[in-house]
Chains A and B, each alone.
Chain A
Amino acid sequence: MKRQDLLNNAERAVETAKKYGAHLAEAYVNNNKELSIDVRQGQVETMKLAEESGLGLRVLVDGRVGFAFTSDLQPGSIEQTARQAFANAASTAPDQNRNLPRAFPDYPRLDLYDRQIALTSVEDKIAMAKTMEEQACSYSPQIKVVESSSYQDGDVEVAVSNSLGVSLSYRGTYCGVYISLVAGEGDDYQTGLDLDFSLSYEKLDPVKVGKTAAQRAVRMLGAKPVNSAQVPVILDPYVGVGFLGLLGPALTGEAVQKGRSLFARKLGQKIASDKINIIDDGTLAEGLASSPFDGEGYPTSRTTLVQSGVLEGFLHNTYTAAKDGVSSTGNGTRNSFKSTPEVGTTNFFIEAGTASPEDLIKDLTEGFYVTEVMGLHTANPISGDFSVGAAGLWIKNGEIARPVKGVALAGNMVDLLNNIDRVGNDLSFLGGQGAPTLRIASMSVSGH
């Protein structure tokens, strides 16, 4: 589908909704194409080509919101969707802060489309996944199983139109590689994975990804639990991203307004170590979550949420901003046409520090370098309490001494943030979220 067609569909849906009696109406239409290739033992195991399009229609009637979506873009179906959205509005609570954004004279200009992705042949993309698998296998004879070695790319077109004059569209692409594998020695099996997603095809490095995953699995062979201890803990960037992900919802205006943020009433206060800056940037160059406007057509921006440990602000969409009497930060994010624009993160990260990851280890007489946590999704996002299974490497006299598994890490997010004493210079992104290596001065590790 052409971008102009998407926009036409969106505008037609807005008109239809107005006809049914909506005071304000907004249509979000997207068309996604996706290719994914999984290779196993040098053969293509799965090749998937996908195309999806659909329309989400939000209407406002006397401050009441109604929403309906459809992936059937025939005119009759759009009519029905408009009728449903209007009918749904009748059951929701009225709220005068409900509004839609007006058009802006300017939106961030971002380079989100890489022609190289479309120009590269499927054979070359298969070859990339094969290379990654070969690199992993040749790293060590201990690599027993490559669970999946995958290449993926996508082409996304989005159009947003509303009855206040917003009429916008953009197109973006992304690509990436992912590998997960198992190393084995005797009865001992350990998993490893790595991935690399980028807006630019040229930036993908399958050789490095394959080797890194293999190294991660091999270094865990022989892992055993340790005795319970209170020690400094280092979180590798992937683990740091996991913990950061827990903070995202708490830093939204929505969570604060609904009393489910652990940072409510903390604006201007210190909530983390002064080494910590947390940023959300929908305009980040090469950011996987970058876009010129958000899911309701508001320009994206860079928002400093935490500066030197002090809470500076929250993320907003049009609604939560109106409720707080502030401006939207352009964080009305949408997963797809099937959902309304909720407050969410874009490129969300902890800024890099200055120390190399090695430096963080060097001055510890004893410590735990965490490379994997399990069950982070069971953490309590409101109280900040977490208790997770962890695996990683034990540090003794400034060096990695041995692999560790089967231990539990428990604590509270606020304590963890306040106890960060050093921040690495190796900011790494996992999709739209990023963190450098982080060191926590002390944490309880439960083992035997």
Chain B
Amino acid sequence: MFGGVSIIDKQILKDVLAAAMSEGGDFADIFIENKKGTGISCEGGNIERVHTGTDIGAGIRVISGESTSYAYTNDLTLEGLTKAAEIVSHAAVGTKKELNIDLTKLQPVVDFDIKMRPEDIKTEEKVAAVNAADRAAREAGGDAIKQVMVGYGDVVQQVTIANSEGDYVEDERIRTRLLVQAVAAENNIIQTGMEVVGSHSGFELFKKFIPEDVAQSAADRACQMLKAKPAPSGRMPVVMAAEAGGTMVHEACGHGMEADLVQKGLSVYAGKIGDKVASDKITVIDDATMQDRYGSYSFDDEGVPSKTVTLIENGVLKDYMYDRLTSTADGRKSNGHGRRESYQDKPIPRMGNTYIAPGKDDPETIIKGVNKGLLVKKMGGGQVNTTTGDFVFDVAEGYLIENGEIGPMVRGATLTGNGPEVLANVEMVGSDLGFTIGTCGKEGQGVPVSDAQPTMAIKEIIVGGTEQNRPNGKIRRL
């Protein structure tokens, strides 16, 4: 299965697992990765970078009780792997045992149909897509557009996972993404507009999202932001449009439902299974089995088949996201959320595609129901303190709502709130659903995720704006 690397024989994997557990331990696994990728970037109308790379390596882990030892290496020879296995075996505690495992290949529950594999597409074609986006952004924005940055990336990650329980998994993840950032300037005001698309697929991504259209959205937003007023500050009703994507559900509840944080007492959702933790209009699901989605996978990075996990159902907390270590501690099976950035990292509970399920309310009616508030059409990055549930995120595109009508655009708004409080304050849930993609960081590991939500009305959130930061009524910006 590995192009440039010799196939690792099952017997070698068995021997390495046996060596890893030779000094004891309850569980051992090996994660072998061969990742090939291409990155292209364009700035100032020039193709600045065309990078390709190959990263191969293996991570070996032994768990004994609640203790994990982990080693990784780029040396995939029997000698290299055995050396890494011996390192972890010395760190393991317990009684020596002879391990005789029979590796059985697991079949995936979902099959992702990749139509245009990145390695079958010529570099020129990828470069052409980047150039097309660059031109489109400039044309869309006219003279106001000062800078356009376009980034393309594809990755083919092939993994082999084997463990002491006899599971053997081969999996391939293919992801493609395109990012366009446009900088607009006028009268000493500089604003940026960013748009990113990506999926668990190959070059067919651009059949769904035309590079020129992606670029146009980014450029349009940057230009509109020039004319936007500074956002107001204070507590106010907020409507989040479906197209705003799921940053809030990701931050406000997703992280707090990762089992490691729950078990360490670092989540506001700890010990609350069966409790009402949100408005009864709220159902939250993490589904890594969805076709095409950026956070999809058929097996997680511990070789567990992906699943659809209902986290909150009609406001009641139902489940957490587990990997093997945390599921063992809770005396249950993993629900397929053990993910890692690469062979260099131990798996930890992570999200895949997290979303708030659509409700019954008409999105337009939701906006009409707000007398004075903020409409969030695009969210930016965010951050959460899972222990308290406090979160903050950036509003990349926001509008005032006045008497049920969408008013002028505002810039510089951030939403500060508390996950459980905000979810309890959801008053209406729309029948639509909009996704955004991103790279989620936790313990220094970045993994691809997507998240989504329908249009929702929230009774009140603290909006931190820049409106009051106006010395003598004059706005100072560079």
Contacts and interface: CB of A to CB of B under 8 A. Distances in A.
Interface of A: 40, 43-54, 65-73, 76-77, 80-81, 84-85, 87-89, 91-93, 95, 144-145, 147, 182, 189-191, 228, 230, 258-260, 262, 338-340, 374-375, 377-378, 380, 382-385, 387-389, 405-412, 414-415, 444, 446, 448
B5 interface: yes
B385 interface: yes
A444 B412 CA distance: 14
Contact of A191 (B55, B189, B385): B385
Contacts of A40: 66
Given A47-B70, A71-B74, A410-B465, A448 B52 contact: no
Nearest to A68: B52
A69 to B, nearest CB: 4
A378 B394 contact: yes
Given A77-B4, A375-B392, A412-B469, A446 B462 contact: yes
B412 A387 contact: yes
Contacts of B235: 448
Interface of B: 4-5, 40, 43-44, 46-57, 65-75, 84, 87-88, 91, 123-124, 127, 146-147, 183, 189-192, 233-235, 264-266, 344, 346, 380-383, 385, 387-388, 390-394, 411-414, 416, 418, 462, 464-466, 468-469, 476-478
A95 B4 contact: no
The interface centre, meaning the residue of B40, B264, B411 with most chain A CB atoms within 10 A of its CB, is: B264
B53 A69 contact: yes
Q: Interface residues of B: mostly helix, strand, loop or mixed? A: strand
A44 B67 contact: yes
A72 B5 contact: yes
Contacts of B123: 87-88, 91
B151 to A, nearest CB: 13
Max count, chain B CB within 10 A of own CB: residue among A43, A65, A408, A414: A408
Contacts of A387: 394, 412-414, 464-466
Given A258-B44, A374-B392, A384-B478, A46 B190 contact: no
B54 A69 contact: yes
Given A77-B4, A91-B124, A68 B478 contact: no
6 contacts: A40-B66, A71-B57, A228-B468, A377-B383, A406-B390, A410-B469
B414 A182 contact: no
A406 B123 CA distance: 49
Contacts of A410: 233, 412, 414, 464-466, 468-469
Given A71-B57, A378-B393, A410-B465, A47 B91 contact: yes
B70 A48 contact: yes
Contact of B387 (A69, A189, A258, A378): A189
User: Closest 3 interchain pairs by CB?
Assistant: A408-B464, A378-B394, A93-B46
A266 to B, nearest CB: 9
A331 B411 CA distance: 34
B392 A84 contact: no
Nearest to A389: B392
Contacts of B69: 46-49
Given A47-B70, A91-B47, 19 more contacts: A46-B346, A52-B72, A68-B53, A69-B53, A71-B56, A72-B54, A88-B52, A92-B49, A191-B388, A228-B234, A262-B190, A262-B478, A338-B53, A375-B382, A387-B413, A389-B390, A408-B462, A410-B469, A411-B466
Contacts of A147: 264, 266
A46 B444 CA distance: 15
B275 to A, nearest CB: 14
Contacts of A89: 50
A338 B47 CA distance: 19
Nearest to A58: B51
B414 A388 contact: yes
Contacts of B189: 383
Nearest to A217: B387
Interface centre among A51, A65, A191, A389 (most CB of B within 10 A): A389
B14 to A, nearest CB: 22
Contact of B477 (A51, A87, A385, A405): A385
A45 B56 contact: no
A68 B465 CA distance: 44
A339 B49 CA distance: 10
A181 B394 CA distance: 27
B427 to A, nearest CB: 21
Contacts of A338: 53, 55
A93 B48 contact: yes
B252 to A, nearest CB: 13
A171 to B, nearest CB: 19
B464 A389 contact: yes
Contacts of A80: 4, 54
B414 A378 contact: yes
A92 B233 contact: no
A297 B393 CA distance: 40
Contact of B382 (A49, A262, A378, A414): A378
A49 B71 CA distance: 5
Contacts of B462: 406, 408, 446
A147 B124 CA distance: 48
Contacts of B71: 48-51
A71 B192 CA distance: 36
